[in-house]
């Protein structure tokens, strides 16, 4: 899953998010959430069914669910999350090895390869661009006679319009926020300009002005919404600065360095690239705005008192910036297997996971056993269960596409490519069930019963939501935690995995997730830490929901559009 906190999000953009593995003789290691009210559902315990000689029709789905086993999950994951696969970095050797492994497994299961005009019908190739900061000429920033140092005083992410030295007259855009009743852009034209934006959000009496119940709003927890908004307004670049004394820019820049030294990835034909995003130290920020700590404090106090944007007295200084990047094209792959349905075969259910991860950083292999090896092998096991059911005469009515995508860690790129170039029309795609990080337990659930976060199931379809609830009530009986459906949740998980590229195209989705942990986007995310019995049950829940979706008379109705 992509990084998403203030600076963790930048890691995704740069590893990406954005936005966060070369074989070595011994195992390597490194490391990197919020809690609104929890809506839960716990099913009553069913009485044990009497044993029968052969499964009755109502029990067929349970028979094949039992083919999803922790032993098989472990067997596949031990391969895909091994050092040999080098962390499955998009476009690199290990990712391509993983693609071959998954394609071969789909073929072994008897699934069809649905990709036309491909050298391998299980593989959808597409072209990306790998961009790197010019190693021979580091970016420079000069204000007046003072020059500032790359990776010490500032760093950046994105496509650069500053290949040559460029004189910039920036525009101050406050906290870069626009929502009902509050807009920093009122009366401000930033088209083609370079804007300075404060990180965080306005405060009043020590609490976020725009949050609720004392919690930060989305604007205060992450910068991507601000960057996207500035891009939408036509800005050429954005210079972010935090004056929060609890933020340590020097430490963050040092932590960012290995990620900034890795290439970023985008589509070769990308037409909607975001404005180039810079992060500068407080010292540089004061220079850019022509102010000091007292000036910033005065501005913040005026905002809190007014409860809305106020005119700042800052006089942004002209400066010169150079930020050259080099580019090269490469090919990467989505992998898929297709199980044709019967009387409703023209309608397609997608079961998805991303199989890429973040590769090798600082010489350490990031194997991504949980993120998202756990989801990938869950898809493989469900493909096996449905394949066996079909071989025994119990094939699904609707067709099922088992879809494993690349480039998720770089910004949901593989699923975006599939949604733009679908093998089966999205209008005929009834649902996407997406699985990302279902192999561990997060801190909020330590010492408690088994659980899974279900995200987005009610966003577009009340039918889909009911199907997931019923599957759990009847079969898996876990705690279903819906807290991350809250549109004000600062983690914004709904937007951070591959289901979102289906949802934004009107396809109902349900995202199954077990939360982040201390090894998230770190070299400690290893097979040895996966809780396979729990993962087995979680995969079976998705399977039961998939069985119902593939066999019911009506496809899920789209009757909502919740944020």
pLDDT in tens, 46-57: 334 434 334 445
**Predicted pLDDT of residue 57:** 54
Distance CA 329, CA 130 (A): 6
**Predicted pLDDT of residue 275:** 87
Q: Which residues of 198-237 are buried (b: 16+ CB within 10 A; e: fewer)?
A: bbbbbbeeeebbbbeeebbbbbbbbbbbbbebbbebebbb
Distance CA 382, CA 434 (A): 12
Q: What is the pLDDT of residues 197-206, one digit of tens each?
A: 999 999 999 9
**Predicted pLDDT of residue 62:** 96
**Predicted pLDDT of residue 404:** 98
The residues of the chain scoring below 50 in pLDDT are: 5-56
**Predicted pLDDT of residue 143:** 97
CB 115 within 8 A of CB 424: no
Distance CA 130, CA 474 (A): 47
**Predicted pLDDT of residue 141:** 97
**Predicted pLDDT of residue 281:** 98
């Amino acid at each position: 899953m992509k990084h998403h906190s203030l600076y963790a999000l930048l890691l995704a953009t740069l590893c990406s998010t954005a936005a966060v593995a070369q074989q070595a003789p011994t195992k390597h290691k490194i490391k990197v959430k919020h809690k609104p009210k929890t809506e839960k559902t716990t099913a009553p315990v069913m009485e044990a069914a009497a044993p029968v000689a052969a499964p009755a029709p109502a029990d067929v789905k349970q028979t094949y669910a039992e083919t999803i086993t922790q032993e098989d999950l472990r067997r596949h994951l031990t391969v895909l999350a091994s050092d040999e696969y080098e962390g499955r970095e998009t476009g690199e050797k290990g990712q391509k090895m993983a693609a071959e492994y998954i394609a071969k497994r789909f073929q072994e299961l008897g699934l069809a390869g649905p990709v036309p005009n491909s050298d391998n019908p299980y593989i959808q190739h597409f072209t990306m661009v790998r961009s790197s900061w010019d190693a021979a000429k580091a970016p420079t920033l000069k204000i007046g006679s003072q020059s500032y140092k790359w990776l010490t005083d500032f760093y950046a992410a994105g496509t650069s319009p500053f290949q040559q030295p460029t004189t910039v007259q920036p525009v101050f855009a406050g906290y870069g926020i626009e929502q009902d009743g509050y807009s920093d852009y009122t009366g401000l034209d930033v088209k083609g300009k370079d804007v300075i934006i404060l990180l965080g959000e306005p405060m009043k009496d020590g609490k976020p002005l725009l949050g609720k119940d004392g919690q930060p709003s989305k604007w205060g927890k992450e910068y991507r919404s601000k960057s996207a908004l500035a891009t939408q307004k036509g800005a050429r670049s954005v210079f972010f600065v935090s004056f929060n004394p609890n933020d340590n820019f020097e430490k963050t820049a040092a932590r960012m360095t290995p990620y900034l030294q890795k290439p970023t990835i985008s589509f070769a034909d990308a037409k909607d690239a975001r404005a180039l995003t810079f992060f500068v130290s407080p010292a540089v920020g004061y220079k850019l705005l022509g102010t000091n700590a007292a000036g910033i404090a005065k501005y913040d106090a005026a905002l809190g008192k007014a409860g809305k944007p106020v005119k700042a007295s800052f006089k942004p200084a002209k400066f010169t910036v150079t930020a050259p990047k080099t580019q090269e094209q490469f090919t990467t792959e989505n992998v898929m297997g297709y199980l044709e349905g019967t009387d409703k075969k023209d309608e397609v259910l997608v079961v998805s996971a991303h199989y890429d991860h973040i590769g090798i950083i600082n010489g350490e292999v990031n194997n991504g056993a949980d993120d998202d090896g756990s989801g990938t092998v869950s898809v493989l096991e469900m493909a096996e269960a449905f394949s066996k059911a079909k071989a025994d005469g119990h094939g699904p009515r609707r067709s099922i596409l088992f879809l494993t995508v690349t480039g998720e860690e770089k910004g949901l790129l593989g699923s975006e490519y599939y949604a733009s170039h679908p093998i089966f029309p999205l209008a005929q795609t009834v649902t996407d069930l997406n699985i990302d990080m279902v192999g561990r337990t997060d801190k909020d659930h330590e010492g408690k019963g088994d659980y899974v976060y279900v995200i987005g199931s009610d966003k577009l379809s009340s039918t889909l939501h009911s199907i997931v609830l019923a599957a759990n009530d009847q079969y898996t009986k876990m705690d279903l935690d819906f807290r991350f459906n809250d549109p004000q949740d600062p983690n914004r998980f709904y937007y951070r995995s591959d289901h979102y590229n289906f949802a934004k195209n009107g396809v109902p989705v349900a995202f199954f997730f077990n939360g982040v942990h201390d090894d998230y986007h770190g070299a400690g995310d290893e097979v040895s830490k996966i809780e396979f019995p729990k993962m087995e049950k979680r995969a079976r829940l998705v399977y039961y929901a998939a069985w119902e979706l593939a066999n019911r008379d009506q496809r899920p109705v789209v009757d909502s559009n919740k944020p």
